A and B are shown apart, each in its own frame.
Chain A
Amino acid sequence: MKPRQNLFSFLLNTALVLSSVTLLVSCSSRSAGSAPETFEGFKRVAIHEPLPDLKIYEYQHEKSGLRILLQPRPETQVIAYVTAYDVGSRFEAQGKTGLAHLFEHMMFRGTPSFPEPFKTLSGWGDRFNAYTSFDLTLYHELVPKQVFEDVVKFESERMRKLQISEEVFKTERGAVISERKMRTQDTPRGRLYWELNQNAFDKHPYQTGPIGWQEDLDSTSFQDALDFYKRYYAPNRAVLSLAGDFKIKDALALLHKYYGGFEREQWVEPVIASENTKRKDRRIVIPMQSESVHIADARFAPGVLNPNNAAEMLLCSLLADSSRGFLTYELVETKVARAVSDSCYFLADPSLSTIILEGNPGVSVEKLEKTYDEALKKFPAWLNQDRLDGLKLYYLAYHLGELREPMGLAENLAYYTVTTKDPNFGFKFMDQIKEVTLDQIKAVWKEWQSRAKTRVILKPAKKSAPFKRRVVRK
């Protein structure tokens, strides 16, 4: 495949730098081995080349629908192994919230050959973890290449042959309840995000964070968990993304050996209620045991495939990047706020673009809010071409840093393949970032102000308000 023209085309074109790229290409090509068009039921779907020196080989297992992304990096001695499932809390019904996340915990509880996965994974060097978000659940391990086959076997068994008992289910539920208390109940930032979603959404499952309601966790049965597993942890709902020290043919042989017998699970796309984003603004104040005022100020944001997202993301950072955003100067440098940050990312369905403020201890709700609202009016005068151009470079540097490590690349590919179906999406988004103009930013800013707003305020108090379920979704 011909390399695309992209953001990197204006970088790296000096002779000296190109020589290093050439060196890596020749090294990678030699060590990656051949990439057959077909191999034991696997079909090569594409060879992506998002950067001149970066080839990603995409295969699909025809019988099961499993998608595989391979990026050999022979110099690393290690393998980053990522399995992403196309299921998050987005599919959860009211009364069954938290199940996707709870099940993520169950995936560490036993397979026929690996009855104690925590110990197995620890034995491979202990570099593993997982997370559940609104849209996906992702498992990742960094292992020495010596245990490659063991990891393939382990992950294949977790996909279709998990062995769990009701007793273990109850034990793990206890750990999840502890996690919920730690992340959501006792922590201002966690409570803020929880309440923001609760109050911004009326119908869509994004209303409830992936950790779920305590009472839902209490009432979730072992059978619920088993049904969930069968439905969602199917090969046609999964993406494998491997980067590291392996040859393509060797990897395919192992994947065939352990995943080759799997078949598709029938899949009916659930109907998910869409949110009415044209509504009145909301402002909610919640007492919280905390040292300072916390504010989340959110507007509805488009879904992940919206073509204006690059401008939306840059606008968000220009406003509230924690290091160099406009509001950082206006609020932190004036000693009104301790921290300002942006929380703008895009989900499968329309979600939220949010500005987070943490007041300095002693600063009142009224002062923080007033200073913030006044500051927003001054933003257009601050915005200019140089600041936009600088931010684009920071965005680029951040992503280049991510891609340096095998795990960074493997996760990036798996994440976008699940959420957008396109492994290249992250790279294309960088191209879109490059093209954003100042006029686009101004247009999005104008439109952004007209969107329905949800503002949640945590006001310091001796005792935190109890959690309340706001509405029951249909």
Chain B
Amino acid sequence: MKKLNTILNGISNSIPLFALLGSSLLSVSAQAYIYLDKELDPLPLFSLSVMLPVGSLSANPVEAAAIAIYSEILEDGTERLEKQEYVDALSSFGANIGFSVGRDSASWSVSFPVIKGKDYAPLVELAKENWTRPRLTEESFENAKVKLNAALQASLDNDMGLAAVVGRRWMGIQDFKLYPVMSDALKILTLADVKKVAETKFHSLENVWAGYIGPQGYEYQADMFLKSVFEKQGSIRRGEYKKSLLKQPQFPASHKGEKEAIIVEKSGRSQLVLFVTGVFPEFPSTFNKELSLHFGGHILGFSGLGSYFGDEIRNKRGLAYTVSPLQKFYLGKPAVGFLTNPVREKNVEAMEVISDLLKSAYEESDVFRVLPEDVWQRQWQSFRYGHILDNSSVAARLGLRRSVVEGELSSELQKSDPADWNVSRDDLARYFRDSWAESSRLIVVVGESKELKPLMKKHFPDYKVSVMGLQDTLLQKSYQP
């Protein structure tokens, strides 16, 4: 099987992959530690996206809150410019400067429509000022806290998001911004924490990856932004490009091998929301197992309404509108599951069906053995075509290159040629039976406990059922001040 190595050992290894991606151009800037990928586009829209190797996976709750506050403060202007002045200055270019932090990386971006003869040097300076001298004042800090707390509270209105947040937290996934910035962490956070995060996480970077999409002839402008905003601080150290330095997350040890159901107490709902997942104890050790993980997840849920879960819950029975796949393969311990919202009047049937589905998928892995041949072939086609379509947009092409540079776990499959993929039904069934069946399992349900508890006990008798108050979903209980 052909597998391309990551480019960690040298740029040249990446060429076959980039050839697969079409006519895009990879180049390395004069500074060895900043990589700039270029994708030319005839539309007069300048877009530069910069990835910084800082993410939430290795942050504790207070750091997470500090980073979220920091990203809010970046929108507040600079030491010199108040928010309105800063936004007015950006508006004169029609420019957006954005910043967000994900699990494994942070993203800084700038975009604007290209105008003939316009001098963009002031915009470069403005971007630099915003990044290097943000408005880290007590007033901005307090404002940001109010905004984040309000967002947290408002998130309780979204049942689907709520179920996903509780489930993700149980799995040890920590995000930034709204949900996972826990209100208890915000209470003890100080401005000094935010300044420390800015200094240690964002102003001491070793590797910066950047992607440019825009008209030919404006790449130099992208270079100017990179050099001015990220280089001149003198704090980015030269070095060979390395894989992300972040540690992979660890699932809480107490969850391993457990089956747990959490009912989030919420009355007066017209639908139930269920978040169902099973966590694999470890990332697959061979490419065949990795392929089994991805393809098995695709068959069960990721092919959407054409998937096993989608077909059984919605297409055949009309129990729910949404059957969203859940796959988290980038983690050290992947998870496969789904999110669904059966109407309340059909909750008994829904629980029964979901219980049966989990049994055939989790316990027996029957799904993979009994799948009709035409469905098996269709799923293969879907899996392969999805790979092509995923990578067809300009943004995705840049993102894919970034993930290759980063050497993320999921990229082994991304880098391989779909024509070489091959896995048998037995491989899949064995892998899921041996790994998934032994794993941690979770069901989160949003609804009324007096109605749901008996149902859960009847259909999921071996799950430990607990009830969580609505406000408790905002708290990071694992954090010890």
Contacts and interface: CB of A to CB of B under 8 A. Distances in A.
Partners in one complex: yes
Interface of A: 8, 10-17, 19-21, 23-24, 51, 53, 75-78, 108, 116, 118-127, 142-144, 146-147, 170-179, 181-182, 185-188, 289-292, 323-324, 329, 332-333, 335, 338, 358, 360-361, 386-387, 389-394, 396-397, 400-401, 403-405, 462-464
B151 interface: yes
A291 B473 CA distance: 14
A222 to B, nearest CB: 14
B114 A186 contact: no
Contacts of B306: 118-123, 126
A181 B216 CA distance: 49
Given A16-B217, A17-B218, A126 B91 contact: no
Nearest to A10: B116
A148 B88 CA distance: 47
Contacts of A175: 314, 318-321
Contact of A291 (B112, B116, B154, B314): B154
- Shortest Cβ-Cβ A-B pairs, 8 listed: A393-B94, A122-B306, A16-B217, A390-B91, A174-B318, A125-B385, A20-B216, A179-B321
A393 B319 contact: no
B341 interface: yes
Contacts of B160: 182
Nearest to A461: B268
Interface string B101-119: 0000000000111111100
Given A12-B114, A76-B392, A77-B22, A187 B157 contact: yes
B389 A78 contact: yes
A333 B154 CA distance: 17
Contacts of B137: none
Contacts of A390: 88, 90-92, 94
Contacts of B385: 123-126, 143-144, 146-147
A122 B341 contact: no
B320 A178 contact: yes
Interface of B: 22-23, 40-45, 47, 83-84, 87-88, 90-94, 96, 111-117, 143, 146-147, 150-151, 153-154, 156-160, 213, 215-218, 268-271, 303-307, 310-311, 314-322, 341-344, 346, 375, 378-379, 381-382, 385-386, 388-389, 392-394
B171 to A, nearest CB: 24
B394 A122 contact: no
A286 B90 CA distance: 40
Contacts of A16: 215-218
A396 B114 CA distance: 10
A469 B306 CA distance: 37
Contact of A8 (B44, B218, B269, B388): B44
18 contacts: A12-B215, A17-B114, A118-B315, A120-B378, A122-B305, A122-B306, A126-B382, A174-B318, A178-B341, A186-B271, A188-B157, A292-B150, A292-B154, A387-B88, A390-B94, A391-B91, A393-B115, A401-B47
B459 to A, nearest CB: 19
Contact of B378 (A123, A146, A329): A123
A174 B112 contact: no
B215 A20 contact: yes
A397 B45 contact: yes
A123 B378 CA distance: 5
Contacts, number: 234
B321 A178 contact: yes
Nearest to B156: A291
A71 to B, nearest CB: 13
Contact of B83 (A75, A126, A333, A404): A333
A116 B378 CA distance: 12
Given A11-B115, A177-B343, A186 B44 contact: no
Given A324-B87, A404-B41, A394 B94 contact: yes
A286 B54 CA distance: 45
A21 B114 CA distance: 14
A77 B388 contact: yes
Contacts of A75: 22-23
Contact of B158 (A121, A173, A187, A323): A187
A182 B90 CA distance: 38
Contacts of A335: 143, 146-147, 150
Contact of A329 (B83, B116, B270): B83
B83 A171 contact: no
Contacts of A119: 306, 311, 375, 378
B45 to A, nearest CB: 4
Nearest to A397: B113
A19 B216 contact: yes
A38 B303 CA distance: 40
Contacts of B150: 292, 335, 338, 360-361
A291 B178 CA distance: 15
Given A122-B382, A126-B304, A333-B83, A17 B215 contact: yes
Contacts of B96: 394, 397
Q: Which of B40, B42, B84, B157 has the most CB of A within 10 A?
A: B42
Nearest to A394: B94
Nearest to A11: B44
A387 B84 CA distance: 11
A414 to B, nearest CB: 19
Given A174-B319, A386-B91, 11 more contacts: A15-B217, A108-B305, A124-B382, A144-B388, A173-B318, A174-B318, A175-B321, A182-B321, A335-B143, A400-B43, A401-B45
Contacts of A188: 157
Q: Which of B213, B316, B321, B386 has the most CB of A within 10 A?
A: B321
B136 to A, nearest CB: 17
B115 A10 contact: yes
Most buried by B among A147, A188, A333: A333
Contact of A171 (B91, B318, B379, B394): B318
A120 B306 CA distance: 8
Contact of B389 (A15, A142, A176, A397): A142
Contacts of B388: 77-78, 125, 144
Given A178-B271, A338-B151, A397 B375 contact: no
A113 to B, nearest CB: 14
Contacts of A329: 83-84
